Amino acid sequence: MSFVKITELVHRGETIKYSMWKILKRIFLFSFLELFIKQQSEFYVDHPEKVDGNGKLISYSLSHHFRRHKRDLNSAERRVFYKLNYKGQEFTLNLTTNDNLLSNEYVLKKHNRSLTEKRSQTSGNIACHLIGTVMDGNEQGTAAISTCEGLRGLLNLPQGPLLIEPVRGHTPNATHPRHPHVIYWSPAWSAIRRRRSTDQVEQERERWEQDPHREWERPRRISPRSISKERWVETMVVGDSKLVDYHGSGNVESYIFTIMNMVAGIFHDASIGNAIHIVLVRLILLHGEEKGLKIIHHADTTLNSFCTWQKKLNPQSDTHPAHHDVAILITRKNICAGMNQPCETLGLSHLSGMCQPHRSCNINEDSGLPVAFTIAHELGHSFGIHHDGQGNDCELVGRHPFIMSRQLHYDSSPLTWSSCSKEYITRFLDRGWGFCLDDRPSKRDLSSQLAAPGVRYTPQHQCQLQYGPNATFCSEVENVCQILWCSVNGSCRSKLDSPIDGTRCGPEKVREVYCTLRKTFCITMHLTVCLCGSVVYLW
């Protein structure tokens, strides 16, 4: 497609008068798009719209962040709708927040040689990372879309999977309020071949499971079938310095959220046959070379180095807030299996390594949004899933795009897990090999420095922060968790704010933390529970 046609697509149906400087501006704006198109065989440019539930236009401004209120949003307020067109077909997106994307104690760390900057934050950051459905008439697919700045993510349509992202550098104005988006499919996706036999890997796993001196807790009693049980994959993601430089230090965190939201959406597909949630507990961004971590072209060497490095960072206790079940490296380094030079390898992991602290890790070469497929593919291997057609009868039929195919081709079918993948992962879980995934990420040991603010700041301290060092807490109030009352010069005053999350309302110490509906009251059971925000703290 020529540059002229690209311009026509972006401004389809509009009458535009170009001055010379506008033409030069357009050339600069779409230079990246020409390069992009050379790498893609299926693409289209459209101007999505934000609409209501009936399809009526609301705005051309697409970015959307769900607001966080003290009271729960109703179902209508928790949804946002978009309309877009792909090759003459109209699609409607029905999206809501992916509340499981981040744990309550998610932490971002930035490593710069000897210096480490740490920032803790709540799940409010996921308010623009959404999951939901996409409709084409009477047919329905799934979607995992980030709406932080335009629409970016995966549309898994009945007609086949598509990726969408905004055209870079476009600034909407009164003349052109719409934001052009590229909708495409990336067919050049391949996975490396596993060299080790199934029997060898499974025999080693069995020996590890039976070792009484191995790390982590013993697996719980194996249930007859695991399909109906929810699993929570607590994930640490590491972005290397090349990734940070490429996407920019101010954008890379949101980019990784988008990728992991897509990965979570892939694991939510019903074809996997199991309820699996991908939850981000820690993100480490490297701003230079990291001591003890070797990232080179040789994928095997890089994987071994990364697995050793991440194991040292991982707290052994599964109840520790910083503990992860699997570690994911995303790098801009051109990796290659078996040799120290660039090639077509996109990812590498250990087969059946999930819940083994030294093997539950994978490396992935960043390729833009399609890296989400690589990560999902490598995580599949961690769950004991083999390539389709490798020792099973799930070889590609035509070019159906199974997630665990050696090569992923564009096809007029949705991207799904094959029946073999479903059998592999169910067998893995039925054996009890996914024992570390049984705990919800919100069940945390708050004795660490990552505890909620109310654990560290007593009601009196909160009063002093508001009214000065001589203020004290009015303890005689009935509902401690509803409004913070402080004694100032002998009288109780309040700014009508609730105490911060985790504020003490009972005589005991904090023991656990649970996600719950956002209420503001204190419950007494066998423990005294204070609900002062989006989480419940047990005392």
Taking the whole predicted model, whether its pTM rises above 0.75 is answered as: no
3-state secondary structure labels for all residues of 108-146 = EEEEECCEEEEEECCHHHHHHEEEEEEEECCEEEEEEEE
Point out which residues pair with 143 in neighbouring strands. 132, 155
Q: Contact 117/109 with Cβ under 8 angstroms? A: yes
| pLDDT value at 536 more than 60 | no
pLDDT at res. 510: 36
The amino acid occupying position 481 is C
269: helix, strand or coil: coil
Rounded Cα–Cα distance for residues 225 and 130 (Å): 30
Residue holding tokens 């819940």? 355
User: Can you tell me the mean pLDDT for 523-527?
Assistant: 37
90 within some domain: no
DSSP 394: -
Same domain, 472 and 323: no
Same domain, 430 and 507: no
Known catalytic residue at 378: yes
| pLDDT value at 476 more than 50 | yes
Q: Single out the residue in 437, 462, 492 at which a domain terminates.
A: 437
User: Can you tell me the mean pLDDT for 217-229?
Assistant: 51
470 within some domain: yes
Same domain, 322 and 426: yes
534 within some domain: yes
Point out which residues pair with 538 in neighbouring strands. 529
The H-or-E segment that residue 373 falls in is: helix 371-382
Same domain, 423 and 462: no
Nearest-Å Rg of the Cα atoms of the chain is: 25
Tell me which of 23-37, 148-162, 513-527 is least confident: 513-527
Tell me which of 97-111, 283-297, 492-506 is least confident: 492-506
DSSP for 415-439, please give it.
-B--HHHHHHHHHHHHTTTTGGGSS
Q: Contact 438/231 with Cβ under 8 angstroms? A: yes
Give the residue from 335, 324, 322 showing the smallest Cα distance to 364: 335
27 within some domain: no
pLDDT per residue over 421-470, tens digit each?
999 999 999 999 999 999 888 533 333 333 444 554 578 767 766 676 67
pLDDT per residue over 31-47, tens digit each?
444 444 444 456 899 99
Tell me which of 139-148, 445-454, 507-516 is least confident: 507-516
| pLDDT value at 507 more than 60 | no
The H-or-E segment that residue 263 falls in is: helix 252-267
DSSP for 10-22, please give it.
HTTT---PPPHHH
Same domain, 333 and 481: no
pLDDT at res. 499: 77
Provide the pLDDT confidence category of residue 482 given band limits of 50, 70 and 90.
confident
| pLDDT value at 22 more than 50 | no
Rounded Cα–Cα distance for residues 222 and 355 (Å): 15
pLDDT per residue over 324-350, tens digit each?
999 999 999 999 988 888 888 889 999
Q: Single out the residue in 382, 402, 437 at which a domain terminates.
A: 437
Provide the pLDDT confidence category of residue 17 given band limits of 50, 70 and 90.
very low
Q: Annotated binding residues for Zn(2+), as ranges?
A: 377, 381, 387
Residues in Cβ contact with 33 at an 8 Å cutoff, skipping those fewer than 6 apart: 6, 167, 182
70 within some domain: no
| pLDDT value at 162 more than 70 | yes
Same domain, 247 and 281: yes
User: Can you tell me the mean pLDDT for 192-203?
Assistant: 49
pLDDT per residue over 290-323, tens digit each?
989 999 999 999 999 999 999 999 998 888 888 9
183 within some domain: no
Residue 507's domain spans which residues? 453-538
Q: When comparing pLDDT for 20 and 246, which is higher?
A: 246
pLDDT at res. 293: 95
Give the residue from 247, 272, 198 showing the smallest Cα distance to 371: 247
Given the residues 49, 105, 290, 378, select the one marked as catalytic.
Answer: 378
The amino acid occupying position 159 is Q
Same domain, 416 and 495: no
Range among 113-122, 365-374, 466-475 rated most confident: 365-374
Q: When comparing pLDDT for 189 and 134, which is higher?
A: 134
pLDDT at res. 50: 96
Residues in Cβ contact with 16 at an 8 Å cutoff, skipping those fewer than 6 apart: none
Give the residue from 402, 348, 408, 305 showing the smallest Cα distance to 196: 348
For residue 387, the Cα-to-chain-centroid distance in whole angstroms is 24
Check which CATH number belongs to the domain holding 262 and give it: 3.40.390.10
How are beta strands 347-349 and 361-365 bridged, if at all? antiparallel
Same domain, 431 and 470: no
Q: When comparing pLDDT for 95 and 224, which is higher?
A: 95
Same domain, 402 and 462: no
The amino acid occupying position 100 is N
22 within some domain: no
User: Can you tell me the mean pLDDT for 4-11?
Assistant: 32
Check which CATH number belongs to the domain holding 531 and give it: 3.40.1620.60
Q: Annotated binding residues, as ranges?
A: 377, 381, 387
Residue holding tokens 């997106």? 93
Tokens of 116: 């480490």
Q: Contact 443/512 with Cβ under 8 angstroms? A: yes
Average pLDDT, the chain: 76
Provide the pLDDT confidence category of residue 267 given band limits of 50, 70 and 90.
very high
pLDDT at res. 24: 39
Q: When comparing pLDDT for 376 and 203, which is higher?
A: 376
Rounded Cα–Cα distance for residues 493 and 500 (Å): 17
Q: What is the total count of domains within the chain?
A: 2
Q: When comparing pLDDT for 486 and 360, which is higher?
A: 360
pLDDT at res. 513: 33
pLDDT at res. 457: 58
pLDDT at res. 164: 95
Q: Single out the residue in 374, 405, 437 at which a domain terminates.
A: 437
Q: Contact 430/100 with Cβ under 8 angstroms? A: no
pLDDT at res. 446: 30
Same domain, 495 and 380: no
Same domain, 425 and 485: no
72 within some domain: no
Tokens of 300: 């095997």
Same domain, 425 and 280: yes
Give the residue from 6, 104, 31 showing the smallest Cα distance to 512: 104
Share of the chain above pLDDT 90, in %: 42
- Note the helical H segments in 268-346: 299-313
pLDDT per residue over 53-64, tens digit each?
999 999 999 999
Share of the chain above pLDDT 70, in %: 66
Tell me which of 20-24, 370-374, 383-387, 412-416 is least confident: 20-24
Residue 32 C-beta-side C-alpha neighbours within 13 Å: 10
The number of beta carbons lying within 10 Å of the beta carbon of residue 498 is: 17
Tell me which of 59-68, 71-80, 95-104 is least confident: 71-80
Q: Contact 531/523 with Cβ under 8 angstroms? A: yes
